[in-house]
A and B are shown apart, each in its own frame.
Chain A
């Protein structure tokens, strides 16, 4: 019995050391500051304790589908033209709710088979069905549609991660959220002013260089008038970036773009020839070739730099340009930095909408930590003192188990990298209260057996074995509750579920194994017939 006891005690000490390591790692120094910094390195604090911003965004996947179906419409038109198939018109009847639906009207029946082969060859992700009045409805295959939407979300996450990385936020969390609603969760510790970050994340950053055909016009109507009421087929009217007092300006811009954001190799802050902040960009090899070809063919014409469907600036092409340029505008230094960063990170495949925003200021965060630790200390001390007073010697047993419990719990948090939130601290406090219940169960049983006349060793044996079943029952049911909370809860509530579960698992170890070992150790040092100090 004594040999076993030795091993068991060694196991307990080893466990203690392992979990202390989980909490502190190997601290630089043993001063108060050294220990504190070691703890904060190992145990991650949630947003509600550190301060920061929590956002839920929704990717407007229909945007991405619309882009794809717009491209499909262009391809269709090309093919129908080249195969000399007549048609009335091609429209998208409901781009908002059915972005993948294309309707071709007025297709003569003899062209049906040609049309069908066009669809299966050139639009493999789409299915076409003929309808009444020589019209055809083309929609995306369900699998392709789902894939496109999911890819849009993945791409959005990548792009947002790029942008946030460049902002230098430490340990951000960017991940898919919820079930199937194209939502993304973004958590930014330490960011107390979300406005700038939100703008950076939301900017679609679509850069295009197109030919500027006319303008600036003070309004759309004037622009139309100048062209006899009808716009040329390959041009659109686009708003220019307003410069405050000048009001909106409109430009006539070609539909096709010479160069897009995909051809961008780099964008960085620079200055224009008047020394104002501007965004300088470099194109890739491919992009450079395209740009050179375009500018060579349009010397003395104007080009427009279009950012997010707004004309940023218009310039005359003096001579062919190979692969670099400047985007000029009324930018501040900070705006130029942000814009370069956003361009570098690539375009968002679809717009994003914000669904939820929570910002915890750092002052609240540190107050919460203080309050939580205070409450934990008070609660813990109250329980420790009570156990001593009520159970005397055995109370020391319970108290040791309790303190070990706390160390294991915090060590678990350190090892697993789980986040400690404010409800998590409450979970720690609750674990203390519920954990000591196991000890109470065992001790009460031991007292009962002693009262019924059993010897101390036998009473201890009976106490532990009878209480074991109930302890397992209660722990399992609470852990199942915590599991459900973890599945359905958000950040802070998840933290609570985690500490509760860890605490209960630790409790199973300490209340049953450790307490038993301590009792055995005490009994082994007692004489036969000596009473057990259990109050």
Chain B
């Protein structure tokens, strides 16, 4: 079975279509970043408090907002998190509420506000740690345990917490649900000291302003080092113009990916940066494969023009390119569909990145090589990359217009139709 038997597509000829396509997406992204959603930064980079709360019923926005207002948190952003069936909500306090004097003040305020209708003297079973349970059980001693009270109650407390977290997603509907999980006497004794609220805190992220600034700097440095590394490596392995072409390609890919996040208004977190760095690596790989083939063909095809060589190289590697992209995309798609909400930003970046990264090796990197060659030849300079049509080396000014087509009498195997 084979998808591409001897393909013969004139990629370079379509370069204006490619350029238009890229421009549309780049400009849309840039406009969004400048004027619409800006670059949405995750809490890692802007600092702030995020509390992820799961409810035992469909969360009511108004009730939550009212609770936040009562706590004085008027700037809290409340959004649904994940698929609606999860009943999960993300409460986002801007960085003003997150000062290093008391880093977790915002979080405590949120939890207190949500617990506002707690019966006096009772603790929330949905947000109790196993230690709290253990201390309570030790005190109450429902099993009349003797010397091994410590172990038994530790085990009971852990069993209750495990059941709540692993089987019920962290939120119990009522104390009765614990009937199968722990000793009946233990379960019966809980109602004296605990009540069951309608929410459980799943995840908390609090990033102070100092760390936010640090992480921003680190992300920037990592990206710059990556790009620099690429430039140097490619400059050494090939010629420097190859390095430049690769960097421009990668820049294009990153721009479109970040633009996609801006259009969607989806926050860019640390893991998203990791995904972007990965797709830089992937796009680079792709570009290298094409460049390797171009270099090989330049040695073999001494009489064809550069654009013919490039076209042929792309066609020869097309099968591999599409296959690899397809297979990697399959895995990334699996991640996007099944990987859960926490990885969503990461997998989204990769989905876009793989598609654009593959496209750009063909549509951006290769034409840059040829365009540069043409530009140099037009300016009368010597052909830097061999294969420049009529031998223009040394002759310089006013030479025949080479590079674009084949000279008379030359039968290119890759005869392309314009």
Asked whether, in the complex, the Cβ of A364 is within 8 Å of the Cβ of B170, the reply is: yes
Bound Cα distance from A360 to B17, whole angstroms: 47
Q: Known contacts A357-B204, A371-B339, A447-B2; is A477 also within 8 Å of B233 by CB?
A: yes
Whether, in the assembled complex, A27 has its beta carbon less than 8 Å from a beta carbon of chain B, the answer is: no
Bound Cα distance from A448 to B128, whole angstroms: 64
Asked whether, in the complex, the Cβ of B288 is within 8 Å of the Cβ of A477, the reply is: yes
Asked whether, in the complex, the Cβ of A178 is within 8 Å of the Cβ of B331, the reply is: no
Chain B neighbourhood of A192, CB < 8 A = 129-130
Interface centre among B104, B221, B338 (most CB of A within 10 A): B338
Asked whether, in the complex, the Cβ of B319 is within 8 Å of the Cβ of A58, the reply is: no
Q: How many residues of B contact A (CB 8 A)?
A: 83
Residues in B139-175 with C-beta less than 8 Å from chain A: 161-162, 164-166, 168-170
Binds A, one of B222-230, B363-371, B373-381, B393-401: B222-230
Asked whether, in the complex, the Cβ of B169 is within 8 Å of the Cβ of A383, the reply is: no
Chain A neighbourhood of B161, CB < 8 A = 362
Asked whether, in the complex, the Cβ of A356 is within 8 Å of the Cβ of B340, the reply is: no
Asked whether, in the complex, the Cβ of B338 is within 8 Å of the Cβ of A378, the reply is: yes
Residues in B333-351 with C-beta less than 8 Å from chain A: 333-335, 337-340, 342-343, 346-347, 350
Asked whether, in the complex, the Cβ of B343 is within 8 Å of the Cβ of A426, the reply is: yes
Whether, in the assembled complex, B93 has its beta carbon less than 8 Å from a beta carbon of chain A, the answer is: no
Binds A, one of B58-66, B184-192, B270-278, B302-310: B270-278
Residues in A380-414 with C-beta less than 8 Å from chain B: 380, 382-383, 386, 389-390, 392
Distance between A87 CB and nearest chain B CB, rounded to angstroms: 38
Binds A, one of B23-31, B34-42, B206-214, B407-415: B206-214
Bound Cα distance from A262 to B346, whole angstroms: 51
Asked whether, in the complex, the Cβ of A474 is within 8 Å of the Cβ of B289, the reply is: yes
Chain B neighbourhood of A432, CB < 8 A = 331
Asked whether, in the complex, the Cβ of B203 is within 8 Å of the Cβ of A361, the reply is: yes
Interface centre among B201, B205, B211 (most CB of A within 10 A): B211
Chain B neighbourhood of A473, CB < 8 A = 237, 285, 288, 292
Chain B neighbourhood of A434, CB < 8 A = 282, 285, 324, 328
Distance between B381 CB and nearest chain A CB, rounded to angstroms: 29
Bound Cα distance from A178 to B208, whole angstroms: 15
Asked whether, in the complex, the Cβ of B327 is within 8 Å of the Cβ of A440, the reply is: yes
Selected contact of B346 from candidates A423, A433, A441, A478, CB within 8 Å: A423
Residues in A167-184 with C-beta less than 8 Å from chain B: 178, 181
Whether, in the assembled complex, A193 has its beta carbon less than 8 Å from a beta carbon of chain B, the answer is: yes
The residue in chain A whose Cβ has the minimal distance to the Cβ of B229 is A480
Whether, in the assembled complex, A422 has its beta carbon less than 8 Å from a beta carbon of chain B, the answer is: yes
Chain A neighbourhood of B201, CB < 8 A = 359, 361
Asked whether, in the complex, the Cβ of A433 is within 8 Å of the Cβ of B328, the reply is: yes
Asked whether, in the complex, the Cβ of B334 is within 8 Å of the Cβ of A378, the reply is: yes
Whether, in the assembled complex, A24 has its beta carbon less than 8 Å from a beta carbon of chain B, the answer is: no
Q: Known contacts A359-B204, A535-B1; is A481 also within 8 Å of B330 by CB?
A: no
Whether, in the assembled complex, B386 has its beta carbon less than 8 Å from a beta carbon of chain A, the answer is: no
Chain A neighbourhood of B233, CB < 8 A = 476-477, 480
Whether, in the assembled complex, A148 has its beta carbon less than 8 Å from a beta carbon of chain B, the answer is: no
Residues in B259-287 with C-beta less than 8 Å from chain A: 270-271, 273-274, 277-278, 280-282, 284-285
Q: Known contacts A386-B327, A433-B327; is A366 also within 8 Å of B166 by CB?
A: yes
Q: Known contacts A367-B169, A423-B343; is A492 also within 8 Å of B271 by CB?
A: yes
Bound Cα distance from A355 to B135, whole angstroms: 30
Chain B neighbourhood of A4, CB < 8 A = none
Main secondary structure of the interface of A (DSSP, over half): helix
Selected contact of B270 from candidates A361, A371, A441, A492, CB within 8 Å: A492
The residue in chain A whose Cβ has the minimal distance to the Cβ of B335 is A375
Selected contact of B222 from candidates A196, A357, A378, A484, CB within 8 Å: A484
The residue in chain A whose Cβ has the minimal distance to the Cβ of B51 is A359
Whether, in the assembled complex, A248 has its beta carbon less than 8 Å from a beta carbon of chain B, the answer is: no
Residues in A419-476 with C-beta less than 8 Å from chain B: 422-423, 426, 429-430, 432-434, 436-437, 440-441, 444, 447-448, 469-470, 473-474, 476
Pull 16 A–B residue pairs with CB atoms less than 8 Å apart, ordered by A: A356-B211, A361-B203, A363-B166, A363-B168, A375-B338, A383-B327, A426-B343, A429-B334, A430-B331, A430-B350, A433-B332, A436-B327, A440-B323, A440-B324, A448-B316, A535-B2
User: Which chain A residues have a beta carbon within 8 Å of chain B's beta carbons?
Assistant: 48, 51, 56, 58, 178, 181, 191-196, 198, 334, 353-364, 366-368, 370-372, 374-376, 378-380, 382-383, 386, 389-390, 392, 422-423, 426, 429-430, 432-434, 436-437, 440-441, 444, 447-448, 469-470, 473-474, 476-478, 480-482, 484-485, 487-490, 492-493, 496-497, 500, 535
Q: A191-B129, A426-B343 given. 18 additional CB < 8 A pairs?
A: A58-B210, A193-B132, A357-B107, A357-B206, A361-B203, A366-B166, A374-B339, A378-B338, A379-B331, A383-B330, A423-B271, A423-B274, A429-B332, A440-B327, A441-B324, A444-B323, A481-B281, A496-B271
